[in-house]
Each structure stands twice: as C-alpha cells, then as structure tokens.
Structure 1
Amino acid sequence: MRPRTSSWRSSSTKRSAISSAMISHARVREPSRSAMMPGHETTMREGLKLGDAVLLYSPDRKTYLISLTEGGRLGTHAGEVRHADILGKYYGEIVRSSTGQPFVVLEPTLEDRMMKVRRLTQIIYPKDAGVILIKTGVRSGMRVIECGVGSGAATLCLATAVAPTGKVYAYDREARFLEVARENVERAGLAHLVEFKVRDVAEGFEEEEVDVVLLDLPSPWEGVPAARRALRGGGRLASISPTFNQVERMVATLEAEGFVMIETVEVLLRHLLVRSGKTRPFERMVGHTGFLTFARRALQPIEAPPEEASEIEPPS
C-alpha cells in the first residue's frame, strides 16, 4: 500500500460523445436472449432488480456507481434519481432525474468498479493492473497473495481473474485499510474469493506454493524473502514503486534472492480528443503512477552475465 497522493480523474471538460438530444431520442430495445452475458440471464430477462449494480452516465460524461436498494435515492449534479425508477429497466435504457436530466443505465465494468472504490490510500490504476495480470498470467483457479492491499482496487482485479475457483490472500498491516478493502470487495460481489489478513510482511505469509505474489509496499524489497518462500517454482512476483531508488533496491534484492527474468516497466496512457479533421491528444494524460517490476522464482541459482544492464535487452 502506498500513501495516497493526488489521483487521476477524467477531465470534466471533455467534449461529450453523446449529446442530451441523442439520449432523449434514443430507441431502446430489450436485448435478445442470445445477446445476454453469461451469468446475467435473469437480470437481463426480468429487468434490473434490487441489489443489481448500475452505472449512470450523463450527457456531460459524469458517472455514478450505485447498487439498487428499496427506497434508494441518488443525489447528482443534475437532480435526484430514484432507484425505483431504475428497477425493471434494462441496461442501455434511459432514466431521468428530478430535473429531467437523462442518464443512461449501464452495466459497470471492472474499470468502473476499480476507479470508484472508497479510498483511504492510493490505488493501483487499471492501466497498471492490466499489465500486471498479463505479465503474471493470473487466471481462473490460481492462488494469489496480495500484500499492501490498501483500498482494494487491485484486489477486485485479482479476484475477478481467479474466479470462480481461485483465491486471493489479501494482506495489510493496517486493519482500517483492510476494512475498507473488504467493503469494496463485498460491494462487487467477490468476497467469497478473498481472504483478508492483518499481518506485517516481516512476519511472512501463511500460504505456500502460490502462483503469484503482488507487493504494493513502501519498501517492497522487505517482502521478497517471504514471497520467495510462498511461491511455487516458476511462480511470478510483481511489485509497484513510485521512484527509481525503490526500483533499484527492489531489483538488487530480487537478484540476491535468486529470482530470474527480472524487468521493470512504466505504463503511460493517453486519451485522444476525436473531432473530424482535428483529432489531438488531451492536454492531460495518465502519466506516471508507478514503476512495475516483475520476476520469476527459480529453484536453483543461475549465474548472471557480466554485461551491464544497459546492454541487456528485456526478456523475450
């Protein structure tokens, strides 16, 4: 878990791709059964019901994530939206606020849930989480340790990836952070896939032969020995750090502990303002959020080549 800093948010000045007039005149049809998403047959056939998650999207690109409740009301920048007015509707339909403002009723994605978790700490952003999943190969049925859970945004990502038969073991030394993370995971309906544990990394992990370890700590190198003991042979480790000094110390520790295929990357994300004949990047972008370091556990030591790191290409 890294201390919370200023987080990236979508610019409220972005030009809307859907005008209010377009929303007002949108024609909505009930989706065919063949188009229904697996696991959503009942919701899609009967319409939205109590407990369902909904993302409300307004013409000015503001979004609100809610779970439908009896008598629930959502206060927005454009009036109040009653949950009762959403019940029975289908994703893609329109609901109006008390002032007549239209909102599109959408199904939340994993990115929506990650960006809208309740936060006490900085989070791992979707752009970084996606690379972590690909680089570590997290998939259904795997056992994953996450140390430095913070607010649980990455926990949502990991739990979704290991479902339905895997498990995420979520460690943090701060009970108050774990409580917030637990609330966020429960709200996403993923609590059965996660075990929360209040424990300092210096005490080690309780699990053995896990597939992946993710370290999001101020001093991630302190967790490397525990990660090595917990990982199976060939198991993958990932960590995120905001500075070069942290990365250098982390890589040195990984080398000393016998890890291989060590590499560090940075992920940058830039949005485009698309307009006919004058498309350009937005002035703001999702720049530096952290350096991602990856490694794999070798069961026997391997001699390092004498070349300088600058002369060695990344693993391929």
Structure 2
Amino acid sequence: MKEAGGWVAFYIGLAIVFGLGLWLTAGWTPAAEFYTGWLTEYSLSVDNLFVFMIIMARFSVPRRFQQKVLLIGIVLALVMRGAFIAAGAALIEQFSWVFYIFGIFLVYTAATLLKNGDEEEEFKENLLIRWAKRVFPLSSSFDSGKMTVVTETGKRLFTPLLIVMIAIGTTDLIFALDSIPAIFGITKEPYLVFTANVFALMGLRQLYFLLGGLLERLVYLNIGLAFVLAFIGVKLFLEALHTNTLAFINDGHGVHWAPEIPIWLSLVVILGTLGIATAASLVKSSRDAKRELTDTTV
C-alpha cells in the first residue's frame, strides 16, 4: 500500500509539474486546458477501474497475475486512445460539424450513466469473447501467467489469460469512445489531448491496488461523471454553433448569440463536481457502515 501510494503521488506530481511547465512556456490557457482535460480523463480512468475489478473477479484472475493484466490493459488503452485522437483531430480539421455529434453522444452517455447508476454493475461477455471461447482451445488454469501452456501430451492450449486480455481490450475500446470526445470538448490541440490521456493512465495500475475497496465506496462517482460529460457535451454543442457550417442551421453561418464557456469555468465546474461527488460518496458510505454496525450490534 505504501509503495502504491508513493507511485500514485509521484505520477500526480508529474502531471502537476507538466502543467506548470506549460504555464511557464506557453501561457495560462494551454495549462488550464491540460489540467481540465487531465482531471476529466483521470476521473473516467478511475471509473474504468470499476470494470477492471469486475473482469478480474469474473474470470478469477489470481492476484499475482493482476499487475500483468493491468499493465497490458493500460498499454492497450494508450494505443487505442492514440489512434482515436489522431482520427478525431483529422475529423475536426475537415468537418467542424463533428462537434454536434460529439456533444450529443456525450449527453447520451451521461444519461446512460444516470440510468444505470443505481444498478449493480455486471460484466457481460461480448461477441468477441464468446467467439474466442469457441475457437481457441483453452486450459482450465492460469498456470504460470503465460498466454499459452503445453500439456503433458504435447498439445498447446491458451490459458484464460487470453480471454481476460480480450475482455480488457474491448473494455478499453468502449471507454476510449467516451473519453476522446470528452477531451476534445476541452481542447482541440492533439498534443494536449494525448498528454492528458498519458498522464491520466500513468499510475492507474498502482491506483487499482491502492484504492481496492474504496472504489466500491464512491457511490456517487457515476452521477458526478454524468454531470461532467453532460456539461462538456453542452459546451461542445455551443462551440459547434459558433463555428457552424451546416446550411440548415442559421443558413450555414455561426450562431454568435450562443454563450461561450471559458476554459477557467470548465476547470472550476469539473473540479467542483468531482470533489463534491467524492466527498458525498465517502460521507454516505461512512453513514451506511455505521448504520450497518448498529443494526448488527442490536
């Protein structure tokens, strides 16, 4: 726990120093965009840990192999997000109206988070996992933590680690679809988008072991994230109105009366929302624990 806490603090410190470096070399605006994007991506990454925990439990991954699974999962997430960032930057450069789609998608994602917030999260095997289970010969144990194992008869089998990696990879893909539009709602600079994602993913493996049961106590995190995503979605939609080129909206001209949300306000709203959601979650969990203890004692 001490080692994990030290590494998490180190990576957070790196992100803060990087933002200060941006402030000194490029000014306040890029630094504020980085901090806002990093906080958003970090929060979404913490939410990603919930699903990682469910996958680990669902496939009964031994604790000694969980670090390896998380490391590969984080590398996959970085690769996928890099590809999505490149594609998103190219789309924005050519078609400014894509912000309308991003905005609507984020608001829809926020509504989905709120709708499913009170339901117990359960991992459901997707089509790719079911296909892999049918096609690949699988062993019943994780053995030494390798992808394949050779039986006494000389037959090579895949271990359940392959299925876990597929589950982690497809989960990373789904989360990238949410997080990349969110970060582009804060900054359109690909360098800032990528670095915010890199710093959000750094230390995530250690954070997984540090938080442990604390993740289950963040009962209002989904509500906080839903508000953040909805806020960024509205911000994106308003920005799309300012740079509008669609002929059926204001004859293809920008809608200049639409309010523009400055980056400092985005930073305050996101930081405040996540802080309130975390504090409220811990207070509720503490009260529930005390109530449960009282009921047990009685």
**TM-score after normalising by structure 1:** 0.24
Compare the two structures and name the one with the higher helix fraction: 2
Compare the two structures and name the one with the higher strand fraction: 1
**Relative contact order higher in (CA < 8 Å, ≥ 6 apart):** 2
